[in-house]
Every structure is written in structure tokens, then in C-alpha cells.
Amino acid sequence: MTALVHVEDLRVVARNAEGADVEIVKGVGFSIKKGEVLALIGESGSGKTTIALSLMGYARSGCRISGGTVRIGEQDVLGLDNAGLAALRGRTVAYIAQSAASAFNPSKTLMDQVIESALIHRTMTREAAEAKAVGLFRALALPDPERIGARYPHQVSGGQLQRVMAAMAFITDPALVILDEPTTALDVTTQIEVLNAFRNVVRQLGTTAVYVSHDLAVVAQMADRIVVLRGGEVRENSSTPRLLSAPTSPYTASLLAAAEPAPRQLDPLAHGSAPLLQVRGLVAGYGPPDSSGLPSKRILSDIDLTIERGATVGVIGESGSGKTTLARVIAGMVPAARGSILLDGEPLVGGAARTREQFRRVQFVFQNADTALNPAHTIERILARPLAFYHGMDRAAQAKRVRELLDLVKLPAAVAARRPGELSGGQKQRINLARALAAKPDLILCDEITSALDTVVAAAILDLMAELRRELKVSTLFISHDINTVRAICDDIVVLYAGAKVEARPRSALATPPFHPYSHLLISSVPELRQGWLEEVAERAPAGLPPIGPVASTPGLCTFLHRCSVRIDGVCTQTVPPRRQLPGGGQILCHHSGQALRTMQAPLQRFEELA
């Protein structure tokens, strides 16, 4: 079959801080057949997004395409003038970005934005474009396809917005669609829905596509062929089955090994001492108080949590489950409406009433290092501020401690003179962590700190967390939506759903059932590194899972009720579920007995093998 896309000797340069050009894409070449899905995979800085954007004749600020050939059909993309490129983009080549939230105009309806490129390129009338958009909404499994276009971006979920952006790309029947990390920020359950919708539409339309990702397990479900990149060079170009079963490059083998984080060796905890942190009966939310005096919008309901000294407790759940709110209440950023938080047995108050010493002892590491670090300040200044604030260090002492902190997080001393924009994503997250460590805390709250990182960098951060635990004996609350990640470094795992703690168990008991039905859904939704997995899970998963939301009828009913495939009508729909103790340790909030759940839930072989 004749190639639709042909790339030969592509080269891209970037201007460095000294004003010199540095080559970041180095003679890359590949072809894509019509109807084929090609994946570009590699760690951050490998050049995958830069190469994908080159297919549109585009280079990001500070970069330029310095050589090579890019042909799509009969068009020489790199030879086009500005008018030619404007005619190409959105018509011949369409782009689906990683962050749907930042790709939409909040002041326009979804329909107006989806059909915009069809109107600009004059491929059809407005009436025809709107009818086609509704058809795409339906094909992409969006709810209420006839009316969802009248909504605004903030009125739909992240997974739905990602699919609306796909409709925007497909509206002009482009010859090539570029999908740039379109599911990286999504929960595992939402990711399944979005991947399944993308794959079905690509197959139905016979679309040629480039899928950019750092996740080999996701790529295995989407791609016919995979190009592995490192340092702007091609390390391997192979069919998906061959690459997964017999990689020829050692680097590809390392990516395969990093795809499923192995549990880190954890030091045994010292028993006999009182817990570092205890959370009891915690209720939190926002909005005016209801008749009971509690917030009308509850985010957390009756949460109990214990963190031992030197322990790492993982908190897992989808977006909207209350994970970040829990961490923010513990950190004093959000007030508790009811319940208590004890640090070393003493009440840990919230807001302005918390002392400087209490703030020092509990530090927060934010999910997005890009927004957490001031881009105008040097790394030395960023790390020096908590040293002066909490410890009163003078400049000489600050400079010495900054070097020690950089060494602690495995960064060279020269990084101190740089600004955040000059660092990679993994380096910025290490600085984020070093800033928290500068206070010498007893407890660190880590909020999704590896979710935006590629597998290799994320694995390095997990190794660093395990090493810091051994060296500093600091306790950690580790928040994630990836059960593999929390299982890699946590002693105990807590599962939240719609603000309720539905399960808690030690890591040693995570390998086999019984699981709460929601935990079982999360575990079975983690992509496996083999082709065909998506088809299998899509067949057994409930079609179109409803969004997270509490049941409205009787207070205290199971929050997972409307999504549960094993609910008992007449019991689950009327009675508050009991909290059942598990034989292997831990507890679940469910009407089913442990034995009944164990019978319903076949052992998950991959988790047993990792145990």
C-alpha cells in the first residue's frame, strides 16, 4: 500500500540560553500507510511532540525546522507558504491536544467550536456541519448527542471534553489526525471510554493517525506500528506485536520494563509508638450550611485515616472522589466542617489558627510543578525561601542547604542558578519535592506528583520517594488515580469514591479478592501491556458509566450504588452498607460479604504476579 505520509531526514533545532542552535530532532524518518495508526513513543524530551507538530509544518516558539522532507499525499508540507499552511491545518491535518480544557474557548458553545474549522475551510454549510457534528458526538459515545453541543466547556467532564475535541478534529474529514497524549490526564475508567471511542471512530472512518504517548500499554491498544524515540533519534520502528514481544533496542526494553512499576522494598515500620496523624469522622465541603449545619455541597463524608511514623499511605480514586480535598484539609488549606485531625495526638487546626510550626511539619507537594514554581525566580531562591521562613537561616547557611537539598533529590548543584522554565518536567517535580523537604517536615502530602510524567521519569521519582523514606523517615500521604503507582511505594491503600472511604487495606493484601466493587473496577481498568486488552475490558465494563455523584434519596447509602454492577436491589437501595473487616487485613464498605465478593471477582493474575 502506498504511504500517505512520508518523513525523511527531518531536523529541528532549538535556540539555547547562549543563543546557539541545538539540534533536538536528528534526521528522523518514517512512513505511514493510509488507514494506519502510527505511535510516536518516548520519554519527555525525546522529540515526539516536536515531530508530530512538524507534520503540520509547525515548530514551537524558539524552535525551527532546519531540514528534511515531510509529504502528506502529494503535498510538500515544508515547502508551503503561510497561506498554504493555513489551508493545510485543520483540513488536511487535524490535531487533538493533550489538554482539552486549555484548547477550548470558555465563552463559546461546544457546537460553535466543533464546526469552526468546517466553516473556515468552507467544506460544508453550517446546517450540514452541525448535523455531522451530532453524528460524531454519537460515534464518540457522548451523552445526549443532539443537545450536548449547546453546552459550554465547563459544563462537561474532562473525558467528555476530550471526545468533543476529537469531533472538532474529525469534522473536516482530514487525511491525517494527530493525537498528542489525549488520555494522559484522565482516570483509568475515563481513559477506557475515551480510548474506545477514539479507536472506534478511527476504524469507522479509516483515518490515518499519529498517536503521541509515553504509555506503551495505551499505545498497544491503538497503534499498528510504533516508532520509539530518544534524544530526537529513532531507536526502533516496528509493528506493535513484534515490538511488544521482541524489542530490538535496549531502550525499548527499558520502556517496557518501566510500564508496570514494580513494588519498592519498604523498610518495616516501628511499632509501639503512637501514630503520627489521625483523622477521625472528617466532613468537608463548601456552600451554605444545610439543616444539620454542614456544607450543602459535601466533598468528604465521615473519613477516618491513620498514618504511622515513617509510613506511606496511598489514597486512590477518580477525579471528584475527594482525594485532593482530603490533603488540603490536612494541610490547613480547606476547613473541616466536622471531625478531628490529630498530629502527635494534638489537634491540628485549620487556616490562620494553625501555627508556623504546625505548617512546617505538614508540607504539600502539588501536582503541577509548572504552576507551583514561580517562573521568575531561580531554583536557589525558590528553595531558600522556606529555609529563611521556617528555620531563620542566613544567606550562607541557605546556600549550603540548597546544595544539600539538590543532592538529596539527585540534581546537580548547577541547577540552583536556573529558572523552572529551563528544567524538564521530572527535574521540576524534584524541585517541588525539595522545597517541601526544606521545611524538614514530618508529613508530606503528595498530590498526583507523577501523573503528568512519562513512565521512565515517573519510575525515577518513585525510586527517589522510596530512598527519601529510608533516609529521612518522613511519613507520606500519596494521592494518585493509578493503582500501580500507589502499590509500588505505599504500606497501606485507601480507596475513596464520591467522598466516602469504600476500602482500606495493607499493600500485602492488595493482590487478591475480595475487593470493593469500585476497587475491582479501578484495578481491572489499568491498561495491560498486550494487544486486545481494550476490546476485552470494553465488552465486560458497563456501557457509559455515570459520573461520580452521591445518591440523593437516603443519606448514608452506598455512593457507588448507581454504578455498581453487583448491587442488591432492596438492600443496597434502602440500607446503609456495613463496614466489613477483611481476613487479610483492611476493610470494605459493602453489603456483600467478603466470601461473596471473592466468588464474584476472579483473581487478577497480573496483580498476583507483582505481589
Range 347-369 average pLDDT: 90
Cα–Cα distance measured from residue 20 to residue 23, given in angstroms and rounded to the nearest whole number: 10
- The rounded percent of the chain whose pLDDT value lies above 90 is 59
Report phi then psi at 241, rounded to 5.
-60, -40
- The rounded percent of the chain whose pLDDT value lies above 70 is 94
Q: Model confidence over 424-458: pLDDT tens digits?
A: 788 999 999 999 999 999 999 999 898 777 777 88
What CATH number matches the domain at 3-258, 3.20.20.80, 3.40.1160.10, 3.40.50.2300, 3.40.50.300?
3.40.50.300
Nearest to 211 by CA among 240, 186, 188: 240
Q: Are 547 and 553 in contact (CB under 8 A)?
A: no
* Cell numbers that stand for 239 in this block: 509493528
Range 392-416 average pLDDT: 95
Cα Dmax for the chain: 74
| SS3 assignment, position 115 | coil
Q: Are 313 and 307 in contact (CB under 8 A)?
A: yes
Cα–Cα distance measured from residue 538 to residue 195, given in angstroms and rounded to the nearest whole number: 10
Mean pLDDT of the chain: 89
Domain with CATH 3.40.50.300 in the chain: 3-258, 277-610
* Cell numbers that stand for 206 in this block: 479509516
Cα 106 off chain centre by: 23
Q: Are 5 and 208 in contact (CB under 8 A)?
A: yes
Quick one: CA dihedral 140, 145, 151, 157, positive or negative? negative
pLDDT of res. 585: 82
Helix (H), strand (E) counts: the chain? 23, 22
563 pLDDT higher than 80 = yes
Q: Are 109 and 164 in contact (CB under 8 A)?
A: no
- The DSSP secondary structure of 92-106, one letter per residue, reads TEEEE-S-HHHHS-T
Q: Model confidence over 93-146: pLDDT tens digits?
A: 999 987 777 789 999 999 999 999 999 999 999 999 999 999 999 999 888 999
* Cell numbers that stand for 610 in this block: 507483582
493 pLDDT higher than 90 = yes
- 595 or 241, higher pLDDT: 241
Cα–Cα distance measured from residue 18 to residue 13, given in angstroms and rounded to the nearest whole number: 14
543 pLDDT higher than 50 = no
Q: Model confidence over 282-334: pLDDT tens digits?
A: 999 988 888 888 888 889 999 999 999 999 999 999 888 899 999 999 999 99
Range 345-349 average pLDDT: 91
Angle 307-311-314 from CA coordinates, rounded to 5°: 75
544 pLDDT higher than 70 = no
User: CA–CA distance from 224 to each of 51, 183, 296, 608 (Å)?
Assistant: 18, 18, 50, 30
pLDDT of res. 486: 87
Nearest to 94 by CA among 170, 202, 26: 170
pLDDT of res. 264: 74
Range 277-610 has CATH code 3.10.400.10: no
pLDDT of res. 552: 46
In which band, very low, low, confident or very high, does the pLDDT at 267 lie, cut at 50, 70 and 90? confident
Range 77-104 average pLDDT: 92
Cα–Cα distance measured from residue 6 to residue 69, given in angstroms and rounded to the nearest whole number: 8
95: buried, middle or exposed (CB in 10 Å: 19+, 13-18, 0-12)? buried
Q: Within 79-149, where are the H helices? A: 82-88, 100-103, 110-114, 116-120, 126-139
* Most confidently predicted of 11-15, 67-71, 289-293: 67-71
Cα–Cα distance measured from residue 319 to residue 508, given in angstroms and rounded to the nearest whole number: 26
Q: Are 453 and 429 in contact (CB under 8 A)?
A: yes
Nearest to 482 by CA among 455, 507, 451: 451
